[in-house]
Structure 1
Amino acid sequence: MSSAHQTSRRRFLQEVAAVGAASLLLPSANRAFGYQSPNERPVFATIGMRNQGWTITSKSFKFADFAALADIDANILGTYVEKVEQGQKKKPDGYADYRKILDRKDIDAVMIATPDHWHTKIAVEAMYAGKDVYCEKPLTLTIDEGKLIEKVVKETGRIFQVGTMQRTECDLRFLQAIALIRDGRIGEVKKVTCGINRIESSPVIPEIPVPEGLDWDTWLGPAAKVPYRALPELRTGYGGGVPLYSNCHYSFRGWYEYSGGKMADWGAHHVDIACWALGATETGPSKVTPVDYKMPVEYKDGYPLVHDQYNVATQFTIQADMPKGVELIITSEGDNGILFEGTEGRFFVNRGKIAGKPIEDLKEKPLPEGAIEAVYGGKVSENHTANFIEGMKARKQPISDVWSHNRMLEICHLSNIAMRVGRPLKWDPVKREIIGDPQANSFLGSEYRKGFEIKMS
């Protein structure tokens, strides 16, 4: 955790305490395992090292030892083997083939930070190999993949954390928001709006030779075999050092073949908090309506007709009809964050602020003692990795479990399907299928390319 983040988190906790939630105390670093003894620290491996892979790995040095890394880009793998060695003072092994990690008996858990279309295959095979799993969000590419992961978690008894870190690491504002909802501070919730930003369309992206060191066929994996595409201009900032436009590193979120676009990427954060606040983590919507949206290329029968440009929705406003008559709006317009509106008030929360009259009223009427802990189900973990390891030790699923995540993510996947086929979808949250629309139902799963099927044992 950076010093700036630590300071921000500490300041927020002081603010929460000032309005009556002083019971929210963070545990020491030793809580997850024994930590003081090297023999009690769990042994991890990370699969997929670029960007978020490095982020979750470096945040975990305090809690675990990393014995191995895997990445199919030789340049990336070598770089991060060195960085992990510097971070933990011990060199991890590096593999191009993640299966070599799964074969090792000394590794307790894997962290998965590959592109979305690889998540399910690796996660399922890791659980069958006896590993606990931490997998980045969004967990799946399709709704059927989510059902499969749930089945395997139950069958194997493995501990599985989804990397939706707003549940622990964003200054706790989101937990406070849920506590306010539960305490009736805005009355009966009527509408929740999730602003999740948009992805820009791309220019035409030409076919070019695959960069040296990148195993393109394996990067595609379960997805259909297509040519590598990229433009020479490089991306800067987070995700830098790779082409600004491509169908590979970082830019994979512009393609439905590998991702769910912004809808699944940021939706996995804000829609998750919305569903948690609504008490809708074990159900789903009755209907999803694409109110307004823009696709960057022409579609027919749910499939893009153009293959040299991004194909995910670039603008959208989706309405999901939730239980108890709540209207859930997911939009690419306005501020990034969540607006809760009820019969007695409203407030807004994101990673930088929580604002509105219910927040101001806390000075005179603080939340009840332990209200935020009640949301979390106990003392709040130091970060997502600590919570994962606590679950490993107790053999108890962590705060971001696969069931609540999949229920939330189903809304995002249904929103993408509705835009692809161009019509509202009625959803059966019990059977978890689209009602009366065989074509739309065909998008609940996808066929894996031959040679990259999931090994189910």
Structure 2
Amino acid sequence: MKTTRRHFLGSVSIAGLTIPNIISSKAWAAKPSDTINLGFIGFGRMNQSHLNFFLGQSDCRVVGVAEVAKVRLAEAMKRVKGKYGSNHGCKAYNDFREIISDKSVDGVVIGTPDHWHAMPAIMAADAKKDIYCEKPLTVTVRAALETLKAARRNNIVFQVGSQQRSEFGGRFRKAVECIRNGRIGEVKKVKIGVGNPAVFCDLPTERKPDGIDWELWQGPAPERGFNKILCPIDVHRHFPQWRRYSEYAGGGLSDMGAHHYDIAKWAMNLDETIPVKVLPPKEGNSGLTMVYENGVEFVHESTADRFNDCVFYGSEGTLYVDRSGIDANPKSAVSSSFGKDAWRLEEIGGNHKRNWIDCIRSRKKPVADVALGAHTSILCSMANIGYQIRNEVMWDPKTYGCNSELGNKIANRFGRGEWKFT
């Protein structure tokens, strides 16, 4: 396959990277009795939940929160005070770099909009902080590779928030075990039912309210005027719609695709490679097919009757899984027990965030290690690129470049002003 590399990463190649199961010990070498000090970057919808969880962990201490909206920062500090009391010692920041420069912080929890995942993660990794980062890991291909490189060169424990690998009653784990054990025969096609690809942001400019650092919220994204749809002005319980726009995210395709493409590639033992071909439809937001070197196809479906699920099509049956359940035809594919010689996943407990803390102590790779999250993010980026280009695109799994000049430009996009890769 001929691959255009001029606009991509040059010498970057991750495919041959050897990744050990045990991550090298950090200088502080946590003992079981040690408290793990955590800093929070962002206090939107997801980090509200994460903060509540970690405040409840007896072996963790929240020592810092960074948030660009003053009302949300005040709410975070209120929750910290409610747990620890007035002498909580937790510091409040507008700028996340203050948390990264704090030597008392052992790990950071990143719960920002997607365009703000890569840069804080890279900076935190270079500061030797362990990381829990919301999914999808990044918006672009290059950002994913740069984040993975930073994590590996610093030997940190990096968990991506693809919690279907550990939670939801273990039904996704069971689906993976059924597929890997050949319960429905040879699988050559997986349909992934998630939302639409991203669109360009055309929201009107509104008056920016006091108490929001809009310039810092934009960060590496293209400069534009404020709109509360992108950055709510309150302590919100909904999921803000920056997710729809390609400047900040990958649409519904990436938002839930970061979960369901993740399960598809896990089940098919394709966790750390990428497809070689992307075939988008000429129009519409559904039907894009990605083809791997071994012939396995991932088909994106964004329709009313296909929502947040995976369907595996095998030579001897079909298996369906979503967050509410798992089913198969024949039923025995999921109902019968596994024999003693069956391929099984390692038991890691049923809480994704707790798995990260446990791995900080053991220095083992977590269940959704950064390499896995990076490749899931890249899959979603490739699909979005296909929908944008509307032509067949060939990809090279060694260079992560493609045969489209525009495709490479989109894949390599990242940064504005001071927020650029060197």
TM-score (norm 2): 0.85
Give the aligned length: 386
Residue in structure 2 matched with residue 325 of structure 1 by the alignment:
295
Within 2, Cα distance between the matches of 1:220 and 1:202? 15
Q: For residue 439 of structure 1, report the CA deviation from its aligned partner.
A: 2.1
1:102-121 mapped onto 2 (5 Å cutoff)? 102-121=100-119
1:359-370 mapped onto 2 (5 Å cutoff)? 359-360=331-332, 362-363=334-335, 365-369=336-340
Change in 2 beyond 3 A, CA 1:73/1:335: same
Query: Unpaired runs of 5+ in structure 2?
Result: 1-29
Change in 2 beyond 3 A, CA 1:150/1:199: closer
Residue in structure 2 matched with residue 280 of structure 1 by the alignment:
270
Query: Unpaired runs of 5+ in structure 1?
Result: 1-32, 241-248, 295-314
Task: Give the conservation status (yes or no) of the 8 Å contact 2:72–2:235.
Answer: no
Change in 2 beyond 3 A, CA 1:208/1:237: closer
Task: Give the conservation status (yes or no) of the 8 Å contact 1:188–1:344.
Answer: yes
Task: Give the conservation status (yes or no) of the 8 Å contact 1:116–1:140.
Answer: yes
Within 1, Cα distance between the matches of 2:220 and 2:198? 26
Cα-to-partner distance string for 1:363-419 (whole Å, 9 max, x where unaligned): 5x31235968x32xx222231121112221122221111212222222211111111
Instruction: Confirm whether residue 443 of structure 1 aligns to residue 413 of structure 2.
Output: no
Residue in structure 1 matched with residue 257 of structure 2 by the alignment:
267
**Which secondary structure state, in structure 1, belongs to the residue aligned with residue 169 of structure 2?**
coil
Cα-to-partner distance string for 1:47-88 (whole Å, 9 max, x where unaligned): 011100111222223432111111000111001211233245
Task: Give the conservation status (yes or no) of the 8 Å contact 1:58–1:87.
Answer: no
Residue in structure 2 matched with residue 210 of structure 1 by the alignment:
208
Residue in structure 2 matched with residue 55 of structure 1 by the alignment:
49
Within 1, Cα distance between the matches of 2:202 and 2:134? 29
1:160-175 mapped onto 2 (5 Å cutoff)? 160-175=158-173
Within 2, Cα distance between the matches of 1:292 and 1:171? 39
**Which secondary structure state, in structure 2, belongs to the residue aligned with residue 44 of structure 1?**
strand
Task: Give the conservation status (yes or no) of the 8 Å contact 1:289–1:425.
Answer: yes
Task: Give the conservation status (yes or no) of the 8 Å contact 1:206–1:231.
Answer: no
**Which secondary structure state, in structure 1, belongs to the residue aligned with residue 102 of structure 2?**
coil
Instruction: Confirm whether residue 197 of structure 1 aligns to residue 195 of structure 2.
Output: yes
AA in 2 matched with 1:330? H
**Which secondary structure state, in structure 2, belongs to the residue aligned with residue 212 of structure 1?**
coil
Task: Give the conservation status (yes or no) of the 8 Å contact 2:65–2:93.
Answer: yes
Q: For residue 195 of structure 1, report the CA deviation from its aligned partner.
A: 0.4
1:418-433 mapped onto 2 (5 Å cutoff)? 418-433=386-401
Residue in structure 1 matched with residue 148 of structure 2 by the alignment:
150
Change in 2 beyond 3 A, CA 1:449/1:120: same
Task: Give the conservation status (yes or no) of the 8 Å contact 1:118–1:221.
Answer: yes
AA in 2 matched with 1:55? S
**Which secondary structure state, in structure 1, belongs to the residue aligned with residue 281 of structure 2?**
strand
Q: For residue 208 of structure 1, report the CA deviation from its aligned partner.
A: 1.3
Change in 2 beyond 3 A, CA 1:358/1:110: farther
1:347-386 mapped onto 2 (5 Å cutoff)? 347-360=319-332, 362-363=334-335, 365-369=336-340, 374-375=344-345, 378-386=346-354
CA root-mean-square deviation: 2.7
Residue in structure 2 matched with residue 396 of structure 1 by the alignment:
364
Residue in structure 2 matched with residue 85 of structure 1 by the alignment:
81
Within 1, Cα distance between the matches of 2:363 and 2:65? 25
Within 1, Cα distance between the matches of 2:184 and 2:164? 22
Task: Give the conservation status (yes or no) of the 8 Å contact 1:280–1:323.
Answer: no
1:96-135 mapped onto 2 (5 Å cutoff)? 96-135=94-133
Within 2, Cα distance between the matches of 1:144 and 1:199? 19
Q: For residue 430 of structure 1, report the CA deviation from its aligned partner.
A: 1.7
AA in 1 matched with 2:110? I
Residue in structure 2 matched with residue 225 of structure 1 by the alignment:
223
**Which secondary structure state, in structure 2, belongs to the residue aligned with residue 54 of structure 1?**
helix
Task: Give the conservation status (yes or no) of the 8 Å contact 2:42–2:67.
Answer: yes
Q: For residue 290 of structure 1, report the CA deviation from its aligned partner.
A: 1.1
Residue in structure 1 matched with residue 242 of structure 2 by the alignment:
252
AA in 1 matched with 2:320? F
Within 2, Cα distance between the matches of 1:393 and 1:369? 31
Within 2, Cα distance between the matches of 1:59 and 1:371? 35
Residue in structure 2 matched with residue 244 of structure 1 by the alignment:
none
AA in 1 matched with 2:53? K
Task: Give the conservation status (yes or no) of the 8 Å contact 2:131–2:156.
Answer: yes
Task: Give the conservation status (yes or no) of the 8 Å contact 2:184–2:333.
Answer: no
Q: For residue 235 of structure 1, report the CA deviation from its aligned partner.
A: 11
**Which secondary structure state, in structure 1, belongs to the residue aligned with residue 288 of structure 2?**
strand
Q: For residue 202 of structure 1, report the CA deviation from its aligned partner.
A: 11
Within 1, Cα distance between the matches of 2:55 and 2:111? 16
Q: For residue 205 of structure 1, report the CA deviation from its aligned partner.
A: 3.7
**Which secondary structure state, in structure 1, belongs to the residue aligned with residue 306 of structure 2?**
coil
Percent identity (aligned): 30
Instruction: Confirm whether residue 343 of structure 1 aligns to residue 281 of structure 2.
Output: no
